[in-house]
Structure 1
Amino acid sequence: MSDDEARIRTLITHWAEAVHRGDLDRVLADHAQDIVMYDVPPPHEGIHGLDAYRASWPPFFVWQAQGACFDIESLDITAGPDVAYAHALLRCGTPEELAERPTLRLRLTLGLRKEDGRWLVSHEHHSFPHD
């Protein structure tokens, strides 16, 4: 694993831990000002910019406070000198939801770019399989 891949793995792992804790400042910490996120709930045209990204998290934290998990199961990273992408599967659901659908996983894809030697998430895409 390259140094960049290791840095990105740490960035993503810390982000997921911050999401699970509901730590909004840490969730935002390594995201670009011009982030674009396509999420499970609307808006279907996506969320554009760090302010909109910030505003999208409080409803998720309220839902997650019901005892939901947000745990990375697998994470793969490909990094070049100044751009990278990662894809992951996460256990994301309340105990009841996961008991009903134990194999359900959130799919996560991230696009990153290096700015001034620092990796930033510039794109996020979250989805669940349609069954």
Structure 2
Amino acid sequence: MTTTDHAENTGTERKTDEAAIRELLQDRATATAERDAERFLGHCAPEIVDFGLAPPLRLTGPEALDRQAVEAWYATWEGPVEVTSTQIEITVGDGVAFAHSINRMHGAKACDSEVQLWFRATVGLRKIDGVWRITHVHESVPFRMDGSGLAALDLTP
């Protein structure tokens, strides 16, 4: 194998991996829309570290993979919870990858309020036994730096 052949194979493999990761992220968003906690969590590695939008500051392993907690969150919504990712960028290495995006969450809360917000997301992944698994999630909403400390929920890309 020449150096050029290796580079081409690596490029092809990376494109295949990137497509698989895009599909994984889309399936996770679809699982949220369908309120399918098992499918949503099924893409995660057992040792996941999750810095989500909701408290606490950090969840790890089994506490981050608590299906009942995800179902309880889904129960606070009326109908689907739409999460649309935009500006997705994926970087793939040898067995590791990360993706970052600007996401829109939209839906109706069970308490008759509508939610629409944009947030930032970074997802770290590892290829485990040939399958990409999420090992790290970090989601955030900017906050006002004017001393109020309020979340900037009115921002749009």
TM-score, scaled relative to structure 2:
0.71
Structure 2 counterpart of 1:49, which letter? G
Note the alpha carbon deviations across 1:22-81, whole angstroms, 9 max, x for none.
10111011110010101112111x001144332441233123326643222332111012
For structure 2, which runs of at least 5 residues remain unmatched after alignment? 1-13, 109-113, 144-151, 153-157
In structure 1, the partner of 2:59 is 47
Which residue in 2 is equivalent to 1:38? 51
Q: Which residue of 1 aligns with 2:28?
A: 15
Give the alignment's TM-score, normalised by structure 1.
0.83
Bigger radius of gyration among the two: 2
- 1:67-82 superposed matches below 5 A: 68-82=81-95
Which one has more relative contact order, counting CA pairs under 8 Å at least 6 apart?
1
Residue 98 of structure 2 is matched in structure 1 by 85
Structure 1 regions of 5+ residues with no counterpart? 99-103
**2:7 alignment partner in structure 1:** none
Q: Which residue of 1 aligns with 2:130?
A: 117
* Preserved contact between residue 15 and residue 26 of structure 1 (Cα < 8 Å): yes
**Root-mean-square deviation (CA), in Å?**
1.9
Tell me the matched-pair count: 125
